[in-house]
A and B are shown apart, each in its own frame.
Chain A
Amino acid sequence: MFGYIIRRVLLMIPTLIVISIISFVIIQLPPGDYLTSYAAQLSAQGDTIDAQGLKALEERYGLGQPIHVQYFKWVSGIILRGDWGQSMEWQKPVKDLIWERLALTILLSSVAILVSWFIAIPVGVYSATHQYSIPDYVLSVISFVGVGTPGFLLALIVMYLAMSQLNQSVGGLFSSEFLLAPWSLAKVVDMLKHLWIPVLIIALESTAGSIRTTRANLLDELNKPYVETARAKGLEEGKLIWKYPVRVALNPFFSTVGWSLASLISGQTLIAVVLSLQTTGPMMLRALMSQDMYLAGSFLLLLSSLTVIGTLVSDIILAWVDPRIRLRG
């Protein structure tokens, strides 16, 4: 097992190198660059920028150099100095921009995942063990509606309800007085007050699907002979359901937890835009639109790295919970 993890980690290195090259090429692919769109924006506003000014900016960002030189500059900055480059649009180093948002996003998404499992697994188990009963039909209808409802629509509905019924402001993660304030206990408390709506919306979006997955997987397992063996042993019904078939039925959750690492960052962009959350999704969207290459590139690189790491984490978790796929050696 230990050797397997080491081998997988070593294999990740070339994967990540290739990914970083591809990310960099992709952000260079669209015609023009940030300066072009910046100049276009300025002239649209009636301003002009002289060639000398452009030249200065070009030099500052190293834009005139060949692409591979730019790439090595960027990557060596990340690896050697932790310098992810400069965001042109924000006029700030990328690393100052993303970490706080990243932390918020990870907090938000992981709480949402836990909430979603906390609802979906018991409901799915109930649905499967009471198949074709009236509660099962009701829950099935609700979860089908849930699968079909886009998250942003749900966000709008919840926003409206919270606003009109509870009189609670739902935009963002902070009240306006704390938005730019440094971190303090009061700010954390304020955040927790705002957190539940986005958590609920993000959680509900995946809950419906998870209920269906749990129900379907458990139905496959419930009639397996090993369940009957446990029953014939004299085990209590509830206990045996949770110990045996549920355990096997939950494997897809363990195997997909890794992928959700990446969706932590890019996922829920639409919901985040609607709810104006200070998360990474909206910022990445904007960086891509304005060709803010170092910011967008950093996001792409982070996303891909998290996907690769997440897949490894998934494999390790799955090997841990399911002895059948444990590799020998």
Chain B
Amino acid sequence: MENNHLLLEVKNLKTHFFLDEGTVRALDGVDFVIKRGQTLGVVGESGCGKSVTARSILRIVPQPGRIVDGEIMLYLPAQSNHSTLTNVVNLTRLNPRGTQIRSIRGCRIALVPQEPMTSLSPVHTLGNQIVEAIVLHQEVSQAEAREKAIYMLDLVGMPQPSRTIDRYPHELSGGMRQRGMIAMALSCHPSLLIADEPTTALDVTTEAQILKLMQRLQQELGMAIMFITHNLGVVARMTEHVIVMYMGKVVEEADVDTIFHNPKHPYTQALLKSIPRLGQRTRERRRLESISGSVPDPYSIPKGCSFHPRCSQRIVGLCDQEEPPNIEIGPGHKTRCVLYR
């Protein structure tokens, strides 16, 4: 892998939450890489650490969470205007409230959150919130920033952008708010857009529109997208490379075709069996399979492979004892499972 194609490299990232009830190891050694312009899908059940990964990268992990180990390397283009930034920045080393991480947040790495209904301040206009982001990272006047905000709203397909800019969030529909959020995120041309389940709260028609919009914008602007979702249909449609997470670890990583057609980890296999497919074995009327059991208690992650209590292929005496290694089974295809050792 050539270094100049690298954008973000996450190595052995551990983010833990220190609660009165105990320590929750939300991320327990996460590794992955995002290349320039690539779309990475991050898949997993609720609570597997997808959103915490996103927040760790932005260094906005809420209290009492803390990154305890690992590195997040951000590779910036050499012709950077920001003299404070070197070519490679280790985000975990930065002060989460310092100027350096703040010049990266919203500028180099932007976030499109899950809840368009509540992600905009109810008492400020949409324009106020977008202009704020532009003025913060670009040396432009208020009037220029407003022009730019209108241009961005137009770009994301907002109807009547020069009027919508002065609307309050409650006057906009969910889809329009999410378009507004995307316009805000893209207003400073980030190299990486983190989309944290951006369509979960929307109806399917709006979801389709937003996904189409994101694909179009990625082609036009050439940024990388880290697409967090639990919707495998969205993964198939949107992403090139996929990581599957379970209990704070990446259990399988491959390009999107391999994940869907040749999954190796029992968790990925089970996940794929749990979605209905059109035209497959309709005569047999097979029951849709579900993964037995539920996500373990986060305070007491099982010993060995954290998936072993729910795994149909577990090897007693091995899986409940030994932490499975990360095994490369093909080009760019890795999995954490002893079956492939």
Contacts and interface: CB of A to CB of B under 8 A. Distances in A.
**Across the A-B interface, the 10 shortest Cβ-Cβ residue pairs:** A234-B106, A234-B105, A233-B106, A232-B111, A225-B119, A234-B102, A323-B168, A226-B121, A225-B118, A233-B133
A234 B137 contact: yes
Given A225-B119, A233-B133, 14 more contacts: A225-B113, A225-B114, A225-B118, A228-B62, A228-B111, A229-B119, A229-B129, A232-B60, A232-B105, A233-B184, A234-B104, A234-B107, A236-B102, A324-B170
B207 interface: no
B60 A226 contact: no
A323 B113 contact: no
A167 interface: no
A248 interface: yes
Given A223-B62, A225-B115, A324-B170, A234 B136 contact: yes
B226 interface: no
Interface string A225-243: 1101111111111000001
Interface string A243-270: 1100110000000000000000000000
Contacts of A233: 105-106, 132-133, 136, 184
Interface string B34-60: 000000000000000000000000101
A226 B122 contact: yes
B136 A235 contact: yes
A226 B103 CA distance: 19
Interface in A306-329: 321-324
B120 interface: yes
Interface in B130-172: 132-133, 136-137, 168, 170
B123 A324 contact: yes
Interface of A: 223-226, 228-237, 243-244, 247-248, 321-324
Given A225-B113, A225-B115, A231 B60 contact: yes
Interface of A is mostly: helix
Contacts of A236: 97, 102
Contact of A248 (B58, B111, B123): B123
Given A233-B132, A324-B170, A226 B106 contact: no
A327 to B, nearest CB: 13
Given A225-B113, A237-B97, A231 B122 contact: no
Which has the most chain A C-beta neighbours within 10 Å: B121, B133, B137? Answer: B121
A257 B119 CA distance: 29
A112 B136 CA distance: 38
B321 to A, nearest CB: 39
A324 B105 CA distance: 29
Interface string B180-191: 010010000000
Interface in B81-119: 97, 102-107, 110-111, 113-115, 118-119
Contacts of A322: 122-123
B105 A230 contact: no
Contacts of A226: 118-122
B120 A248 contact: no
Which has the most chain A C-beta neighbours within 10 Å: B103, B113, B122, B184? Answer: B122
B193 to A, nearest CB: 11
A223 B170 CA distance: 19
B39 to A, nearest CB: 20
A237 B63 CA distance: 14
Contact of A323 (B60, B115, B123): B123
A228 to B, nearest CB: 6
B113 A229 contact: yes
B170 A323 contact: yes
B118 A224 contact: yes
A230 B130 CA distance: 10
B119 A231 contact: no
Nearest to A248: B123
18 contacts: A224-B118, A225-B113, A226-B119, A226-B120, A228-B111, A229-B121, A229-B129, A232-B110, A233-B132, A233-B136, A234-B103, A234-B106, A234-B107, A235-B102, A248-B122, A323-B125, A323-B168, A323-B170
